[in-house]
Copies of this chain bind each other. A is one copy, B any other.
Amino acid sequence: MYEGVVQDLIDELGRLPGVGPKSAQRIAFHLLQADSIDVKRLVEVLTEVKAKVRFCETCGNVAESEQCRICADPRRDNTAICVVEEPKDVVAIERTREFRGRYHVLGGAISPIDGVGPDDLRIKELMTRLASAEVTEIIIATDPNLEGEATASYLARFLRPMGLRVTRLASGLPVGGDLEYADEVTLGRAFEGRRLLDV
């Protein structure tokens, strides 16, 4: 509907995740009316990100050199590895300040429907890391959904025979949530994982 390059921009923006045709149009007009310098900054950072950012050779997290910040940090605990699906999960866990060990980013979860099998994930790299000993606990922090659970079970089956302590993040009611709005699976998990109150 738009003239040449404006439509091209709307099309390109519409390819981004979570950006529908209406949002793409809104962003495009915003950029059209924005100062050239703002658009230039976006262009520069896009170019830079593709040139600079790679994935950590050890854990698979995003990094600006061979190793990510966390792998390069000598103060982190080498005995625990937290296994996550995506780099953004590392950031989410770091924000809690609960964990001082290392991470391993799988790059997804097992999902037969999307054609993602164990060989498509960075599981071999995890095994290589474990060969160098020191690690005693693997915390599996894949998403609490079908794919994440399947991946967790798959990993546990491999890791337990190696004499490692394999743990999984607790499922239960979200803090600040309302019991009556919890779905039955979450509520069931909360029951299953109930703990003794220390009085």
Q: Is the CB of B68 within 8 A of A29?
A: no
Give A53 to B9 CA distance when docked, in angstroms: 11
**For residue A50, which residues in chain B have a CB less than 8 angstroms away from its CB?**
31-32, 36, 39-40
Residues of A54-92 whose CB lies within 8 A of B? 62-64, 68-69, 86-88, 91
On chain A, the number of residues with a Cβ less than 8 Å from chain B's Cβ atoms is 50
Q: Is the CB of A45 within 8 A of B3?
A: no
Q: Is the CB of B45 within 8 A of A86?
A: no
Q: Is the CB of A45 within 8 A of B88?
A: no
A42 beta carbon closer than 8 Å to chain B = yes
A48 beta carbon closer than 8 Å to chain B = yes
A187 beta carbon closer than 8 Å to chain B = no
Q: Is the CB of A16 within 8 A of B27?
A: yes
Q: With both chains docked as a complex, state the minimum distance between the C-beta of A39 and any C-beta of chain B, in angstroms.
A: 5
A181 beta carbon closer than 8 Å to chain B = no
Q: Is the CB of A63 within 8 A of B25?
A: no
A1 beta carbon closer than 8 Å to chain B = yes
Q: Is the CB of B45 within 8 A of A43?
A: no
A4 beta carbon closer than 8 Å to chain B = yes
Q: Is the CB of A45 within 8 A of B94?
A: no
| Across the A-B interface, the 8 shortest Cβ-Cβ residue pairs | A1-B91, A12-B42, A17-B30, A8-B45, A9-B49, A16-B27, A9-B45, A18-B23
